[in-house]
Structure 1
């Protein structure tokens, strides 16, 4: 096996987030479960909801893209594969991820639909409710994969959000085959309970087939995946089925299970939760960065907690503080 050129190669939705503050009553009015994600299936639907938003702020996003942007901010070497359209938002996304230090060479898609966008409403308690139009990102074909890039990444990181459309699902299956054929690890994030409700069978099969080396979930996603009502029952159910399981638990911190060992860390202290958008993405960034650099599970969990704490103290899912300096300071 040749040495890896990249620490992490990620495949995910290429999205531009539009964030706006909103009251709980507005979330009820639009009929979306607070703190969840719903899909919008047409640009007209997205336009109609956008018209109801208050003043917004555009920040490049996408779950896996946020993760590799975070790793790059810590000094890691990353690449991202995702589909944008030949439009203004596509140009914004491409500029931002490259400016973050991530290699991005996926060919732009011409014609409709537009680049993906996510309308995010942030309530006073910092909870984010997401409304996503997948646009061009849902048409990422297997032919767009750079096999050389995937083969040269120590870890291939995939997001559950992108599993929904048929074309990128086929692309991710091909990417898994490429990574495993080259002796690389495959990490997968369940992304949202919504994804599990639609594709839980596929996710369970990936695990059963031994195709996932590192699985990320939050507490609710784990319960949904394991079809359990109790956290410990879910842990017992999945223990041993995946080599490394990482579960985030908001203010309760995070745990990891590997080789029969259970490791836990607490959440990092913060002054105020401003916006939880990207908390899981940046937790994954810290953890994967630690793993790519050869750190132990506990240290990797700590890095994840540090990165998550930074992201929830400001708007948007891309780091604003010097993550490398923050991590170096905390870990010594």
Structure 2
């Protein structure tokens, strides 16, 4: 990372600022919001989930036609080129006599089935390359310094297409996100008995890290990037699955499994009208323990990215606060993802404790940015970007088809959307965040960061699936390197 850019970001943090943003009640000198100054948000809770794609197939997916769906939660996964085959009504894999396994692919209106031959890999998704699959069993190796370390929830997504009657039978409100306990999760999975579904190493943060690792997989415009993630997975098959999928994508999951822990899951139910209902079972995935191992990782990290969903538990908030403190002491850049409006509403003061004191970068969409500012929905995205920019050196706010905004020290740069034919907007914000991180690591000027990010996001919007494909990442990185060399981004 260029020292000048790194120093510029680190030296920009301030705890207060004098400004006028056009609303009399917010004029003057303000400190980051606290209980005494800013009330809890009073507007309706909105849900924005960019990290799941059930309509067009999740990243890292495999499908199994299986009567006993819930038994997959405890089965051992086999890393090989041969599909795992389950006979309907059985909880045990079939012998080698079965030549095919049913794999489910979904559209917005219905689901269809295609067959995968025994030569196909059920763990492989469309965004992976042959080289990534071949590297599946390679170790981490000795890494002197991590360019980016993500700290977040390690959740495995289970997604399937259902009808409205299915949701009604379980008393679920369509289009919402709900935390469930172990018993509630089991009830839903039993109701899905006999359905085809997909499993993926999901999560908004992991999408961003995978895109960044693929962009930095070649020495284009700089050295190969070292990307890692830390979090919490259980000592169960789902934890092994999650680690293996990230490793294939050159993202090293460095946290040891929690003994007797249960890896978190998100059940994503998509109705024919393309609305997604999400049921999150956190397990041990939302609990991050700050130990000597994590402290050591942070001590050799350039950029620490903290996922907003970690604010859900008090003990985890303590851990990420310590992580941010240590990152500061070691001269690292701290980035925070807003993650979700409802999460911001529930943990408003905790968010500001972190971003007001430690964050150098904040990633948000326009609704999340307004929630962080305690603005009503009538306020513009540019106003929210400008406001946040007085507390956080670099502010990244996406605003859908209207483009995006980059706030730098209170100044706002508008970034028009990069041209593309939209196919699926799921994952666009995650890709955009990867572009900001990539641009910083490659020394892109602040005024051009959004352009780089918008181009990456446009590629993801123009495809099915939430993750940047390897071939697209290599092509983009080469293009960026050329333009950087010629100063034409």
- Equivalence for 1:45: 184
Q: Does 1:168 align with 2:308?
A: no
SS at match of 2:286: helix
Larger Rg: 2
Separation in structure 1 between the aligned mates of residue 323 and residue 152 of structure 2, nearest angstrom: 12
- Equivalence for 1:16: 156
- Equivalence for 1:293: 442
Query: In the TM superposition, what are the counterparts of 1:8-157 in structure 2 within 5 Å?
Result: 8-22=148-162, 31-32=172-173, 34=175, 37-40=177-180, 42-53=181-192, 54-75=195-216, 76-112=225-261, 114-122=262-270, 128-143=276-291, 145-157=293-305
Query: In the TM superposition, what are the counterparts of 1:277-292 in structure 2 within 5 Å?
Result: 278-292=427-441
Aligned residues between the structures:
326
Structure having the higher helix fraction is 1
Q: Which moved more, 1:147-156 or 1:242-251?
A: 147-156
Distance 1:237 1:15, change over 3 A: same
Q: Does 1:204 align with 2:343?
A: no
- The answer as to whether partners of 1:128 and 1:275 remain within 8 angstroms in 2 is no
1:256 to 396, 400, 406: 406
Deviation at 1:180, TM superposition (A): 0.2
Separation in structure 2 between the aligned mates of residue 126 and residue 322 of structure 1, nearest angstrom: 28
Separation in structure 2 between the aligned mates of residue 265 and residue 163 of structure 1, nearest angstrom: 30
Separation in structure 2 between the aligned mates of residue 307 and residue 144 of structure 1, nearest angstrom: 36
- Equivalence for 1:247: 397
- Equivalence for 1:304: 453
Q: Which moved more, 1:266-275 or 1:128-137?
A: 266-275
Distance 1:66 1:267, change over 3 A: same
Deviation at 1:101, TM superposition (A): 0.8
- The answer as to whether partners of 1:311 and 1:317 remain within 8 angstroms in 2 is yes
Separation in structure 1 between the aligned mates of residue 174 and residue 186 of structure 2, nearest angstrom: 20
Q: Which moved more, 1:126-135 or 1:9-18?
A: 126-135
Separation in structure 2 between the aligned mates of residue 22 and residue 249 of structure 1, nearest angstrom: 30
1:5 to 141, 145, 160: 145
Q: Which moved more, 1:292-301 or 1:71-80?
A: 292-301
Distance 1:212 1:14, change over 3 A: same
SS at match of 1:56: strand
Separation in structure 2 between the aligned mates of residue 234 and residue 167 of structure 1, nearest angstrom: 30
- The answer as to whether partners of 1:157 and 1:187 remain within 8 angstroms in 2 is yes
Q: CA RMSD in A?
A: 2.7
Separation in structure 2 between the aligned mates of residue 298 and residue 32 of structure 1, nearest angstrom: 42
Deviations 1:273-330 (A, max 9, x none): 3361x33222211211111111123433233223333434555533335242241365
Q: Which moved more, 1:163-172 or 1:121-130?
A: 121-130
- Equivalence for 2:112: none
SS at match of 2:449: helix
Separation in structure 2 between the aligned mates of residue 94 and residue 145 of structure 1, nearest angstrom: 17
- The answer as to whether partners of 1:161 and 1:195 remain within 8 angstroms in 2 is yes
Deviation at 1:200, TM superposition (A): 0.8
- The answer as to whether partners of 1:107 and 1:144 remain within 8 angstroms in 2 is no
Deviations 1:38-85 (A, max 9, x none): 322x12212223344553211111222222111111113111101111
Separation in structure 2 between the aligned mates of residue 28 and residue 321 of structure 1, nearest angstrom: 40
- The answer as to whether partners of 2:311 and 2:351 remain within 8 angstroms in 1 is no
Separation in structure 2 between the aligned mates of residue 308 and residue 79 of structure 1, nearest angstrom: 21
- The answer as to whether partners of 2:385 and 2:396 remain within 8 angstroms in 1 is no
Distance 1:226 1:297, change over 3 A: same
Separation in structure 1 between the aligned mates of residue 273 and residue 405 of structure 2, nearest angstrom: 25
Query: Unaligned stretches of 5+ in structure 1?
Result: none
Distance 1:305 1:235, change over 3 A: closer
Q: Which moved more, 1:149-158 or 1:61-70?
A: 61-70
For normalisation by structure 2, the TM-score amounts to 0.61
- Runs of 4+ with deviation above 6 angstroms: 24-29
Distance 1:263 1:77, change over 3 A: same
Separation in structure 1 between the aligned mates of residue 327 and residue 437 of structure 2, nearest angstrom: 16
Distance 1:170 1:267, change over 3 A: same
Deviations 1:122-143 (A, max 9, x none): 4567664432111121232112
